[in-house]
């Protein structure tokens, strides 16, 4: 079993797509280990996306991610990290495959509905950024 970290981004929450996104995730076989709704500051968004600090879109990205409520979550499944990335589709929805979350809901390369960790180390960092150990403890 592998865990990954995901965010339903502000565009999707604003448009009322949270439930539909979660339904696609569960239908694909992921177990929802933990989920919470929160609003993050621009600084908190910058800490989360620190790897992108030198990118030209960083300022706009951190404004967007702090523009409204998000849902952060931890998902579990065999091969969860790669399988979620596949279900999300390409970063730019124009390039996303049919049947992916971004193809269905994303409006632009920035406002692209969902985040998913891209590797084991980033998943650990991202889960730890938003969740404490007691929120992730499961026995079933």
Cβ-based nearer residue to ligand ATP, 124 or 133: 124
3 state SS for the chain? CEEEEEEECHHHHHCCCHHHHHHHHHHCCCEEEEEEEECCCHHHHHHHCHHHCCCCCHHHHHHHHCCCCEEEEEEEECCHHHHHHHHHCCCCHHHCCCCCHHHHHCCCCCCCCEEECCCHHHHHHHHHHHCCHHHCCCCC
Residue 115 appears among annotated catalytic residues: yes
Query: Shortest Cβ distance from residue 32 to ligand ATP (Å)?
Result: 18
Candidates 18-26, 36-44, 82-90, 111-119; binding stretch for Mg ion (CB under 5 A) = 111-119
Candidates 22-30, 70-78, 113-121, 128-136; binding stretch for Mg ion (CB under 5 A) = 113-121
Cβ-based nearer residue to ligand ATP, 102 or 131: 102
Cβ-based nearer residue to ligand ATP, 31 or 85: 85
């Amino acid at each position: 079993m592998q865990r990954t970290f995901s965010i339903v981004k502000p565009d999707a929450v604003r448009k009322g797509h949270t439930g539909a996104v979660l339904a696609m995730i569960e239908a694909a076989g992921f177990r929802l280990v933990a989920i919470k709704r929160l609003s993050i500051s621009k600084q908190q968004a910058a800490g989360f996306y620190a790897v992108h600090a030198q990118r030209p879109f960083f300022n706009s990205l951190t404004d967007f991610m702090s523009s409204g409520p998000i849902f952060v979550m931890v998902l579990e499944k065999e091969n969860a990290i790669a399988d979620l990335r596949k279900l999300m589709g390409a970063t730019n929805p124009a390039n996303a495959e049919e049947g992916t979350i971004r193809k269905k809901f994303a409006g632009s390369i920035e406002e692209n509905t969902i985040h998913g960790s891209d590797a084991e180390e980033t998943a650990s960092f991202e889960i730890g950024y938003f969740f404490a150990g007691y929120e992730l403890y499961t026995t079933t």
